Amino acid sequence: MNLNDTPNTLAQILAYHERTKHRLERYAAGPEALDWDAQPNPFREFLGAGKTALPLAADTLTTPFDALHQPATIAPYPIDLHAIGILLELSLAISAWKEYGPDRWAVRCNPSSGNLHPTEAYVIGRHIPGLANGVYHYLSLDHSLALRCRHAPSADDVTDTSTGLYIGLSSVAWREAWKYGERAFRYCQHDVGHALGALRYAAAVLGWQVHVHEEISSQELAYVLGVDRDNDYANAEREEAELLVSIGPASKNNLPPALPPFIAREWFGQANRLDPHPMYRWPVIDEVATATRKPGTLPMQWTAERAAERVAEQSASEPSSTPLPPLPALPSLPSLPRAKHLPAATLLRQRRSAQHFDRAQTLDTASFYRLLDAVLPRDTLPWDVWSFEPRLHLILFVHRVAGLAPGIYALPRDAAAKENLRQAMQQDFAWTKPANCPSHLPLYCLIEAPVSKIARSIGCHQAIAADGAFSLAMLAEFEPTLTAAPWRYRQLFWEAGLIGQVLYLEAEAAGVRGTGIGCYFDDACHELLGLTGKSFQSLYHFTVGSPLLDERISSHPAYPASPR
């Protein structure tokens, strides 16, 4: 038995989850005071590692966002430094600098709790024109790659000279813990899910696929990325290895190869210290990180057929390959500027979190259903990246959607989950399908009622949970998943982050805007739904609506050379 599978590990993870719940009577343990001037450096650098500047060429791509869902229409780019530059420019790069009074801060294509950005990315290249074989750390500050490790040619390299592009993600938990204390580990995991989604969409613009290598263990990944190298992090905050993906124009029926064997010839660079004077320590974060490290496992065979089966299960009448059917002509209020035809390269970089919503606006019915449709597991973008069973289901708090009564709705993302949710939640919920709902969408009204106030209370009293068109909770199949494999604790949050990234981008395309909500009262949400026990737990909340923009904040180009 692997150490990470012991009942003790499971108990540790469940205990972490329990103690990091925000409760109406007290928030999870965090710092009592924050000195904003002492925020940890959001940019990791490896001092002494040679840098390669990446080109900024995303503006040359005109593929509309809509076209990403029809991959056959996008000719795959060859993998080279130029294309890698675009991939990162559209996923993890800075997308703008913001200024308000004396404050200036960077925002990125990928969102992050508190804009603290704990996620680090490493590019592993093999036979890529313009890039020596090795591991490179991506620095979004100047859009460059720093050579961390040069790989020596292995026996495989002689016989196989095919191109390989891999990206490994890691988290610097301290960046989040500095502000959020013990709950920070959860936010780091959400951010990994968002980063995965950001990479998937950016890859699609280049006509590429993304494949998660679930077989690799956390320990192996730490070795590959070099985050286990004590000397390179002497006196610097450590990184936790999270996820490895391979990226390229591979067909989805052709599983991309596992990371080929390599010989690490030489490592370069010393990690910079991010916070010279850390005030607090949250040892429980290190404990849960250790408890959720993944053992090596056999790769799961993702097949298009399995994905098709899943959606077919949702509705016997609608096969998954059928694109979203035309939506009924319903009154739509008011008409918001639609952005679906914007170049994807523009849309991915203009994604922002709404800070305030306009309560006078109502979301049109068609956009609402399109947003829900986009989170259903399919074998198309971005769900082709997720080879695991869908384990998260949506509970929606509908406030202002044309043609739909305000109330609580459920969207089980898997046919089997509907019955389980029904049994686990309040027995007097109605479970009726809205009359105007497209037949393939598994949306059910549980109760019709004004729910703005309760949504606001559950969302740590944040107005964004109440003032938009709708907000939602993501309910995870929790204890059964963790009992089978405790390390999937991280994966549940990744799935939540991925759903969040879909909502962010689809909302942007619909001319509205979303915001992730990590601050919510866990058990208040469960109680409202009648959930007892740990079969389902709410792992992430989200809100969508018409944004009110803060004109006082000015926006400036991401990089000196970039026109935006």
Ligand X SMILES: Cc1cc2nc3c(=O)[nH]c(=O)nc-3n(C[C@H](O)[C@H](O)[C@H](O)COP(=O)(O)O)c2cc1C
Smallest distance, ligand X to C-beta of residue 170, A: 17
Binder of ligand X out of 402, 464, 528, 558 (CB under 6 A)? 464
State whether residue 115 is helix, strand or coil: helix
Q: Which two tokens stand for residue 326?
A: 């035309």
User: Two tokens at 315?
Assistant: 């509705």
Q: What are the backbone angles phi and psi of residue 11, rounded to the nearest 5°? A: -60, -40
In 3D space, the residue among 476, 113, 489 whose CA is nearest the CA of residue 288 turns out to be: 489
State yes or no: residue 519 binds ligand X (CB under 6 A): yes
Nearer to ligand X, 190 or 488 (CB): 190
Out of 187, 369, 521, 559, name the contact with ligand X by CB under 6 A: 187
Q: How far is CA 359 from CA 77, 427, 465, 470, in A?
A: 43, 32, 11, 11
Distance CA 115, CA 112 (A): 5
Question: Total residues contacting ligand X (rule CB under 6 A)?
Answer: 19
Whole-angstrom distance, CA of residue 473 vs CA of residue 397: 8
C-beta of 516: minimal distance to ligand X in Å?
3
Looking at the Cβ atoms of 105 and 280, the one nearer to ligand X is 105
Which sign does the torsion angle of CA 222, 225, 227, 232 carry? Answer: positive
User: Is 518:540 a contact under the CB 8 Å cutoff?
Assistant: yes
Adjacent-strand bridge partners of 516: 542
Q: In angstroms, rounded to a whole number, what is the distance separating the alpha carbons of residues 171 and 181?
A: 15
The residue within the footprint of ligand X, chosen from 352, 399, 413, 418 (CB under 6 A), is: 352
C-alpha angle 26/178/517, rounded to 5°?
55
Q: How far is the CB of 150 from ligand X (least distance, A)?
A: 34
Give 380 or 462: the residue with its C-beta nearer to ligand X.
462
Report the relative pairing of strands 164-171 and 470-477 from DSSP bridges: unpaired
In whole angstroms, how close is the CB of 405 to ligand X at the nearest point?
A: 27
The two structure tokens encoding residue 39: 């925020």
Q: How near is the Cβ of 251 to ligand X at its closest, in Å?
A: 32
Stretch that binds ligand X, among 183-191, 304-312, 339-347, 398-406 (CB under 6 A): 183-191
112 binds ligand X (CB under 6 A): yes
**β partners of residue 8:** none
Q: Which of 314, 287, 307 is nearest to 411 (CA)?
A: 314
Q: Which is nearer to ligand X, 106 or 212 (CB)?
A: 106
Q: Which residues of 138-155 are buried (b: 16+ CB within 10 A; e: fewer)?
A: bbbeebbbbbbbbbeeee
- CB of 564 vs ligand X, minimal distance in Å: 14
Which one among 126, 183, 190, 526 touches ligand X, defined by CB under 6 A? 190
Tell me the closest approach of the beta carbon of residue 203 to ligand X, in angstroms.
20
Nearest distance in Å: CB 28, ligand X: 13
Give least dist CB 192 to ligand X, A: 10
Least distance in angstroms from the C-beta of 311 to ligand X: 27
- Binding to ligand X, residues 231-290 (CB under 6 A): none
516 sits near ligand X (criterion: CB under 6 A): yes
Asked if 185 contacts 20 with a C-beta cutoff of 8 angstroms, the reply is yes
Question: Are 508 and 349 in contact, with CB atoms under 8 Å apart?
Answer: no
Question: What are the structure tokens assigned to 562, written together?
Answer: 């970039």
Question: Residue from 149, 311, 443, 517 that binds ligand X (CB under 6 A)?
Answer: 517
| Cβ proximity to ligand X, 246 vs 501, nearer residue | 501
Per-residue binder mask for ligand X (CB under 6 A), 418-457, x = binder: ----------------------------------------
Q: Does 518 contact ligand X by CB under 6 A?
A: yes
Residue 111 interacts with ligand X (CB under 6 A): yes or no: yes
List binders of ligand X among 70-109 (CB under 6 A).
Answer: 107
CB of 100 to ligand X, least distance (A): 13
Tell the smallest beta-carbon distance from residue 496 to ligand X (Å). Answer: 8
Segment interacting with ligand X, rule: CB under 6 A, options 85-93, 233-241, 398-406, 512-520: 512-520
Only segment of 30-38, 132-140, 154-162, 189-197 that touches ligand X (CB under 6 A): 189-197
Part in contact with ligand X (CB under 6 A); list of ranges 211-219, 234-242, 387-395, 517-525:
517-525
Closest CA to 374 of 501, 543, 511: 501
Work out whether 154 is an interface residue with ligand X (CB under 6 A). no
Q: Which of 114, 278, 406, 450 binds ligand X (CB under 6 A)?
A: 114
Task: Choose the binding region for ligand X from 119-127, 148-156, 291-299, 514-522 (rule: CB under 6 A).
Answer: 514-522
Q: Which stretch binds ligand X (CB under 6 A): 21-29, 158-166, 402-410, 511-519?
A: 511-519
Compute the C-alpha angle 384/386/392, nearest 5°.
Answer: 125
DSSP 295-364: PP-PPP---HHHHHHHHHHH-TTS-TTSPPPPPP-----SPPPP-TTSBHHHHHHH--B-SSB-TT--B-
If you count them, how many residues does the chain have? 564
Q: Where are the beta strands (DSSP E) in 213-369?
A: 240-248, 263-267, 270-271
Q: Applying CB under 6 A, does 314 fall inside the site for ligand X?
A: no
113 binds ligand X (CB under 6 A): yes
For the chain, helix (H) and strand (E) counts, in that order, are 16, 19
Integer Cα distance of 229 and 131 in angstroms: 23
- DSSP class of 387: -
Which residues in this chain contact ligand X in the complex, by CB under 6 A? 107, 111-115, 187, 190-191, 194, 352-353, 462, 464, 515-519
